[in-house]
């Protein structure tokens, strides 16, 4: 418990909101030294937000760990341990603090820490705060409660049932079996305070009756109106801890993390270039991870999809180079779209690539702008074609850095090397069958 305690008590935000995925270390180094880097929006396009990086691959993330969610998961697991029947010394302490609100019962209540008549030590307060964030019992509002949920909601420590501004817990009544709102209703669909038979059955004292009346009076008006149509819950067993015992850290972490995830900002930028196209982002993001085994290809496509690749247009904007002109033709501004698609040298290169595919026995009539940027999402030989497309873009970009023009012969050599590399990986992983299916049409010459 000590270890967990030291991990979870962190008063400040532990993680930043932005994380830089740089394109080339030398260029980024130069960028950092640049005195003219005054407008943050200029550099925005070269970063992936942290809230996007923590997402799953198909959502454009890299499954980066989200520390705040990990810490909150640990806090919630502490509450799960409290719910378990296993005796422990630390539980004695926390249960002592929780005694005025019914001990473990609090875990099933729709509580609000501020409305509880107790003050917990800081560590447990943090744990219960995180627990309330995820607990189904605390995710309610007065209006949204449907009738069945309402009758099952716990009366005690309920943030909507307050007397003198605080939620209440009457031990005597709880021990007599009055736990849920449905327990306040008798078989005749009226409040039990009106049923002498029920009150006798419960063996209530005048003080108990007085408390029952005050609790019923404190019910929100919306609930009181629908209560006379509620069924009594007298026969249903109370076993709410079971749900808490079943929670697992992975599920809690995902739930907490999913509340923070945002889509990569580059999506918006691409949408302005592809106004008439439907972009299937899940497919687009996961494609490079399915097509290529080599991490360099995956990394390159990830940077392209997040528009993190440096272009002359960008370097010029931030004052590092005097001209935004394209590295190949020198005639137009070197934007990502110009460099990978509309430059005349690039166009010639893609025509050569289509011929190369033709020699391999793979028929591609035309490569659209969408195909080049995101890959061909539906086609025969999908894995091979899309991997080659990524290698080709990677090669184009390396030509820009080496200040040379692209040549299909060099691309062919690169493909050869990657094929050899993937064959070795497939052999060592015993996955030759899948490997051979992917490279089936590839003629190694």
Which residues contact Zn ion (rule: CB under 5 A)? 326, 328-329, 343
Nearer to Zn ion, 76 or 396 (CB): 396
Question: Cα separation of 84 and 86, whole Å?
Answer: 6
Question: Cα separation of 336 and 314, whole Å?
Answer: 10
We find the least distance from the C-beta atom of residue 311 to Zn ion, in angstroms, to be 11
Q: Which of 54, 45, 51, 42 is nearest to 309 (CA)?
A: 45
For strand 48-49 and strand 162-163, is the pairing parallel, antiparallel, or unpaired? unpaired
- 15: exposed, middle or buried (C-beta count within 10 Å: 0-12, 13-18, 19+)? middle
Nearer to Zn ion, 252 or 326 (CB): 326
Q: Which of 129, 97, 91 is nearest to 113 (CA)?
A: 129
We find the least distance from the C-beta atom of residue 375 to Zn ion, in angstroms, to be 22
What phi, psi does 167 have (nearest 5°)?
Answer: -70, 160
We find the least distance from the C-beta atom of residue 304 to Zn ion, in angstroms, to be 17
Nearer to Zn ion, 154 or 343 (CB): 343
Rounded to the nearest 10°, the torsion over CA 421, 377, 301, 398 is 70
We find the least distance from the C-beta atom of residue 317 to Zn ion, in angstroms, to be 17
Nearer to Zn ion, 190 or 337 (CB): 337
Task: Return the structure tokens found at 97.
Answer: 């603090």
Nearer to Zn ion, 167 or 327 (CB): 327
We find the least distance from the C-beta atom of residue 387 to Zn ion, in angstroms, to be 25
Q: Which of 437, 400, 394, 401 is nearest to 417 (CA)?
A: 394
We find the least distance from the C-beta atom of residue 372 to Zn ion, in angstroms, to be 15
Residues in the chain: 445
Task: Return the structure tokens found at 14.
Answer: 């532990």
């Amino acid at each position: 418990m000590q270890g967990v305690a030291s991990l979870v008590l962190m008063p400040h935000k532990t993680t930043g909101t932005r994380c830089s995925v740089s394109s080339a270390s030398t260029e980024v180094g130069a960028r950092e030294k640049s005195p003219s880097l005054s407008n943050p929006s200029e550099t925005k396009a070269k970063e992936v937000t942290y809230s996007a990086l923590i997402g799953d691959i198909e959502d454009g993330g890299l499954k980066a760990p989200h520390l705040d969610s990990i810490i909150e998961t640990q806090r919630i697991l502490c509450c799960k341990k409290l719910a378990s029947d296993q005796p422990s010394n630390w539980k004695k302490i926390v249960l002592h603090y929780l005694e005025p609100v019914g001990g473990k019962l609090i875990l099933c209540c729709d509580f609000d820490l501020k409305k509880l008549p107790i003050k917990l030590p800081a560590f447990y307060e943090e744990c219960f705060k995180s627990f309330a964030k995820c607990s189904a019992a605390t995710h309610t509002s007065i209006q949204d409660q449907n009738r069945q949920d309402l009758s099952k909601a716990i009366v005690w420590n309920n943030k909507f049932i307050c007397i003198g501004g605080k939620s209440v817990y009457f031990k005597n009544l709880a021990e007599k079996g009055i736990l849920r709102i449905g327990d306040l209703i008798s078989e005749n669909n009226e409040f039990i305070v009106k049923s002498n038979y029920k009150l006798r059955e419960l063996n209530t004292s005048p003080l108990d009756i007085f408390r029952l009346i005050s609790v019923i009076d404190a019910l929100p008006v919306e609930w009181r109106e629908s209560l006379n149509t509620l069924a009594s819950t007298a026969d249903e067993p109370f076993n709410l801890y079971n749900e808490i015992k079943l929670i697992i850290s992975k599920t809690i972490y995902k739930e907490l993390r999913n509340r923070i995830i945002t889509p990569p900002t580059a999506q918006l930028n691409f949408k302005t270039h592809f106004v008439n196209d439907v972009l299937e982002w899940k497919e687009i993001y996961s494609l490079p991870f399915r097509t290529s085994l080599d991490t360099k290809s995956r990394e390159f496509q990830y940077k392209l999809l997040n528009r993190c690749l440096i272009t002359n247009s960008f370097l010029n904007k931030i004052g590092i180079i005097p001209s935004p002109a394209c590295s190949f033709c020198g005639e137009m501004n070197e934007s990502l779209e110009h460099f990978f698609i509309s430059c005349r040298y690039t166009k010639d290169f893609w025509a050569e690539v289509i011929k190369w595919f033709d020699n391999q026995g793979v028929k591609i009539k035309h490569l659209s702008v969408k195909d080049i940027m995101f890959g061909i999402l539906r086609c025969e030989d999908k894995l091979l074609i899309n991997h080659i497309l990524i290698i080709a873009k990677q090669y184009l970009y390396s030509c820009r850095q080496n200040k040379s023009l692209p040549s299909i012969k060099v691309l062919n050599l690169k493909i050869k090397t990657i094929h050899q590399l993937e064959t070795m990986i497939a052999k060592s992983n015993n996955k030759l069958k899948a490997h051979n299916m992917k490279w089936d049409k590839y003629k190694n010459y």
